[in-house]
């Protein structure tokens, strides 16, 4: 390994297995350091492509998402760091794939528990191809003021507190990511801060060792002293001992190996990391500390004394003129996320949507304030749900039953009506369900099924103004307006629509008042005197009876009733009902595997 600096202010990474928070923390660190370009060049999410929106300071940016490692490396040839957030099950395969890319120089494996045999293969490949592995089981690494991996150093507040937004003079390496944060803080208190920090990971076989990074720090001119935090278990620290003895390290090294308390236990103890257990005296913290001390490292008598040892070493270098302490600079303020400041009550912001019918916050969704569990437990039906979502109140059972009857009676009227015909033709053209449904729905209007609101509007106006059927019909005729809800292409006075009769029977049996329906029947009597096909149709029946429902229930005032009719609630009932049939026709054609429809030419009048 050896060589020198791993990262710079221009380093860019590819991030494998999208995690919003670690990436955003990297970008916030970039902004804090004054980088001109984001350190995350691309994201790799197997099977997905597109972009992910994140923030670079106050500016929102779109980071490309690639489905494969190869595609990402090809698209971002200058990105030479691969940050792997895959699980322990797939981390080895994806890391090996990254190592085989010519553009990738450093691979950081975050997952812990990667099979040891897989890790050894990764290490062997990396060493034979002059590449660097950080991890597994690592939080990553950081070059102060330049680049950081994922969640290294924690929150922005901690990074600012540890002065990691600008480079110091200390190179730091540890097995533990959590203890790295502690040491970043300690080093910032008693020195001019970190230049570079690496957590090699706590697994038994780390991709790079403590000595690998110390020897590398030794070659970086800006690093004037090194701090090492080891732990009991394994023999990694002894490679550092040998390097010190052989004179390969020319800068002061302050070291401490944690785990001295292990001797207090009668049996072997497994500490936090897989590699943190002593396999004999040589692997004990005491033996390692003694060996490091004898090799020339500055080793305190306890962890509590480590801070003083670091301080004394730094101050000595300053006195010798080998370190010129870094002058402090004030980092820029990272903009806070809107949702955070709103939650903390520090800002107010207008909402963009108002919703009064449902709420999906909390334990369970609710319709008009009624929890979903209550709807199910009380056996509510479709009519009850419509009453909650459309009318924002629980209507009486006879009202919700009427709504359900309307849906059942209007669900379909055969394949020949315009809506069903359109849906059938579209389905036979090979289009999907939604396209077929929409093609049918788009035919609903004044001439097909869309007259319910108009029927209710005109019947209500005429009745409320006290017009006789004669005055109403003749007045509409003078205006050149057909009476909505009156007339049928097939039904006649002696063969009335059975659906209308069923609706009337239900209303006469259950509604407290049917004044609007009675008026509509009077209008029908008059229109039938003019033509036998001018019967009350289903639009007129639903429109007039819905007026009776709204007025007779006592739950709506005049203004609310007028608004319901004006907005188009009643046409909505026909749209909802007929959607059931249109979907059925679509499925029917697809099930029958019907070919593309072509209208027969003999059914067309060709004329000039």
The CA distance from 131 to 80, in Å, is: 10
The CA distance from 263 to 110, in Å, is: 31
Question: Which helix (DSSP H) or strand (DSSP E) does residue 61 occupy?
Answer: strand 59-66
Alpha helices in 449-537 (DSSP H): 452-464, 469-478, 498-510, 515-528
Alpha helices in 191-329 (DSSP H): 210-218, 236-245, 285-295, 306-319
Residue in 263, 307, 315 with CA at minimum distance from that of residue 285: 263
> 173: helix, coil or strand?
strand
C-beta neighbour count of 586 within 10 angstroms: 25
The CA distance from 443 to 462, in Å, is: 28
Q: 169 near 220, Cβ under 8 Å?
A: no
DSSP 261: G
Classify each residue of 504-531 as buried b or exposed e, where b means 16 or more C-beta atoms within 10 Å of its C-beta: bebbeebbeebebbbbbbebbebbbeee
Q: 108 near 82, Cβ under 8 Å?
A: yes
Residue in 191, 182, 103 with CA at minimum distance from that of residue 139: 182
The reply to whether 161 belongs to the active site is: no
The CA distance from 122 to 318, in Å, is: 41
Q: 298 near 253, Cβ under 8 Å?
A: yes
Strand order in the sheet with 170-174: 147-148, 140-143, 194-199, 170-174, 225-231, 253-258
> 608: helix, coil or strand?
coil
Q: 543 near 519, Cβ under 8 Å?
A: no
Q: 98 near 82, Cβ under 8 Å?
A: yes
Q: 278 near 199, Cβ under 8 Å?
A: no
The CA distance from 428 to 153, in Å, is: 60
Q: Which of 76, 213, 273, 585 is catalytic?
A: 273
Which residues carry out catalysis?
273
């Amino acid at each position: 390994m050896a060589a020198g600096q791993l990262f710079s202010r221009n380093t860019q990474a590819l991030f494998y297995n999208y995690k919003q928070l670690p990436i955003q923390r990297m970008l916030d660190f970039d902004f804090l350091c004054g980088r001109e370009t984001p350190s995350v060049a691309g994201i790799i999410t197997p099977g997905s492509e597109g972009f992910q929106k994140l923030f670079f300071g106050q500016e929102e940016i779109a980071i490309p998402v690639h489905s494969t490692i190869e595609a990402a490396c090809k698209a971002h040839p200058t990105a030479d760091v691969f940050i792997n957030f895959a699980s322990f099950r797939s981390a080895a395969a994806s890391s090996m794939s990254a190592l085989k890319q010519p553009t990738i120089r450093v691979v950081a494996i975050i997952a812990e528990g990667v099979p040891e045999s897989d890790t050894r293969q990764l290490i062997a490949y990396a060493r034979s191809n002059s590449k660097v592995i950080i991890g597994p089981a690592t939080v990553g690494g950081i070059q102060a003021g330049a680049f950081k991996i994922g969640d290294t150093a924690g929150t922005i507040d901690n990074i600012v507190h540890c002065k990691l937004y600008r480079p110091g003079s200390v190179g730091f390496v540890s097995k533990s990511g959590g203890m790295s944060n502690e040491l970043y803080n300690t080093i910032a208190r008693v020195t001019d801060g970190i230049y570079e920090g690496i957590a090699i990971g706590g697994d038994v076989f780390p991709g790079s060792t403590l000595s690998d990074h110390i020897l590398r720090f030794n070659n970086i001119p800006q690093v004037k002293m090194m701090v090492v935090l080891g732990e009991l278990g394994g023999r990694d620290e002894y490679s550092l001992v040998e390097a010190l003895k052989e004179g390969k390290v020319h800068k002061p090294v302050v070291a401490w190996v944690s785990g001295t308390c292990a001797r207090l236990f009668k049996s072997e103890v497994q500490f936090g990391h897989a590699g943190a257990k002593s396999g004999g005296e040589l692997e004990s913290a005491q033996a390692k500390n003694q060996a490091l001390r004898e090799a020339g490292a500055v080793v305190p008598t306890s962890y509590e004394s480590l801070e003083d040892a670091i301080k004394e070493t730094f101050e000595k270098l300053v006195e010798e003129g080998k370190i010129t302490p870094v002058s402090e600079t004030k980092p820029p303020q990272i903009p806070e996320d809107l949702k955070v400041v709103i939650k903390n009550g520090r800002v107010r912001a207008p909402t963009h949507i108002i919703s009064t019918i449902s709420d999906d916050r909390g334990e369970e969704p609710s319709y008009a304030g009624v929890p979903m569990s209550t709807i199910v437990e009380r056996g509510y039906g479709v009519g009850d749900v419509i009453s909650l979502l459309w009318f924002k109140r629980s209507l009486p059972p006879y009202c919700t039953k009427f709504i359900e009857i309307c849906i059942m009676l209007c669900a379909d009227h055969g394949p020949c009506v315009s809506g069903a015909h359109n849906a059938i033709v579209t389905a036979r053209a090979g289009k999907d369900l939604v396209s077929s449904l929409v093609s049918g729905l788009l035919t609903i209007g004044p001439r097909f099924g869309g007259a319910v609101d108009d029927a209710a509007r005109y019947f209500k106006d005429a009745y409320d103004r006290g017009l006789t059927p004669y005055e109403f019909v003749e007045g509409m005729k003078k205006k050149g307006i057909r009476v909505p809800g009156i007339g049928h292409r097939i039904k006649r006075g002696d063969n009335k629509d059975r659906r209308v009769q069923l609706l009337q029977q239900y209303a006469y049996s259950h509604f407290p008042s049917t004044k609007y329906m009675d008026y509509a029947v009077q209008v029908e009597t008059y229109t039938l005197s003019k033509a036998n096909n001018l019967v009350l149709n289903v639009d007129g029946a639903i429109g007039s009876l819905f007026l009776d429902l709204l007025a007779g229930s006592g739950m709506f005032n005049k203004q609310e009733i007028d608004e319901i009719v004006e907005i188009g609630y009643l046409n909505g009932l026909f749209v909802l009902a007929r959607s059931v049939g249109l979907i059925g026709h679509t499925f029917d054609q697809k099930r029958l595997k019907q070919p593309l429809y072509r209208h027969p030419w003999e059914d067309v009048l060709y004329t000039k």
